[in-house]
Amino acid sequence: MTINHFKRKHIVVIGGGFGGLNFIASFYNNKYYDVTLVDKNNYNYFTPLLYQVATGFLAPSSISYPFRKLFKNKNIAFRMADVNGVDASKNKIHLDDGSELSYDLLVLAAGTKTNFLENKSLRARALSLKGINDALVMRNELIGILEKASIEKDPEERKRLLTIVIAGGGPTGVEVAGVLAEVRKYIYAREYPELKDFPFEIYIVDGSPFLLAPMSDKSHQTAYNTLTKLDVHIILKTHVVLFENEKVFLSNGDIIECKTLIWSAGVIANSFEGIAESSLGKGRRMITNEYNQVQGYENIYAIGDISIQFDDADYPDGHPQLAQPAIQQGKALAKNLLRVACGQQMKAFKYFDKGEMAIIGRQNAVADLFKHRVHFGGLPGLMAWLLIHLMSLVSTNNKIKTFYNWAFAYLTNDQTLRMIFRTESADDRI
């Protein structure tokens, strides 16, 4: 009989997104490790559908679920806090509430934040979309500009209110542009009769020669054709360089007067004080080996968007910052740590590319599967997109709510979540 003398260790996981949650799922009621999740929110949310919250098609509760309910009876601890720093020499993390948390193994899965390219005018004035709070701010802003425009008498000011520029032609930018175009087509004149004779202009600007640049040529063309038919102005090979005085300045010299700029032109990894600069690579992603171990550290690992790995021959510049690499790395690292607990050797991570998808408007989606070997769009693409995103939601409750909202919006060309909700702080009530 083999006796396992593995000492139970404490794993601290920073971030409960795709990578963190899939890592933790392998340790439910396990006999080898104690696991604590640390996240600044007390809920998980499904990032690919944030734009639907921001445009009023889904409620926040449709794409989010509380961690404590998710971990009920599964022996996973949770701390709601932000991480101020890592003390690798003492195996501790410092939290924003002034406390410390000790670990034997640290797994960093904190993802990315919006990259404003150190442009203060963009950071201060542009809308971004990286969390539920961002989505609610954007929803309030988008609905608010229609309300303001409906009573505005100055035609020039009304035109600025009714012009939206989206910086970034990746999936988020394309999907937001498509939804806004559908709102303009089916809801705008019907619910805002004061505006029926005034154009609602939508621009999408990207530095690449294509929309959805990482995807296939067929997806590039489908995205371009679909948005063009929806009367979205597409400006390619051009960057947004400045946003001030209600003007968007473009690298080609053009200026677009508008009140609203949506920034979806890139991300940068979240980083932590205490992690050496020598461990950071492109986009401040942590350099990891084939086991997701952070360069320069014995007991610190990084997974998902925050990690960059150069050991996979098929991805010499690192894996794409998408949900699938994060999910697969989370599961692979969990299996490796369980192998270690059983006295076995770790196995190198190998990414399996399942593909990329994007929805464009109400009736179109594109999918490139298995390294672009398989492509489909139109109604089949839309059905695939809906099914995959629906099944990826955390709980049955989320799935039911989301399916109902989608079905209602599709059948009626409408959605009912166009309300402005604002929170009031204690200071506001004094």
CATH fold of 9-40+81-114+268-341 reads FAD/NAD(P)-binding domain (3.50.50)
What are the residue ranges of CATH 3.50.50.100 in the chain? Answer: 120-265+355-411
Q: Which position has the token pair 């998902």?
A: 304
CA dihedral 396, 397, 399, 400 (to 10 degrees): 110
Task: Supply the pLDDT for residue 322.
Answer: 87
pLDDT in tens, 375-420: 777 777 777 777 777 777 777 877 787 777 777 666 666 666 666 7
Task: Supply the pLDDT for residue 429.
Answer: 38
What are the residue ranges of CATH 3.50.50.60 in the chain? Answer: 9-40+81-114+268-341
- Choose among 129, 124, 149: nearest CA to 139: 129
Predicted TM-score of the model (pTM):
0.89
Kindly tell me if the per-residue pLDDT of 280 is higher than 70: yes
pLDDT in tens, 339-379: 999 999 999 999 988 888 888 877 788 888 766 677 777 77
Task: Supply the pLDDT for residue 419.
Answer: 66
**Tokens matching residue 405:** 């909202």
Architecture category of domain 120-265+355-411 in CATH: 3-Layer(bba) Sandwich (3.50)
pLDDT in tens, 99-143: 999 999 999 999 999 888 878 888 889 999 999 999 999 999 999
DSSP state letters, 213-275: TTS-HHHHHHHHHHHHHTT-EEE-S--EEEEETTEEEETTS-EEE-SEEEE-S-EEE---TTS
- Choose among 427, 420, 424, 428: nearest CA to 136: 420
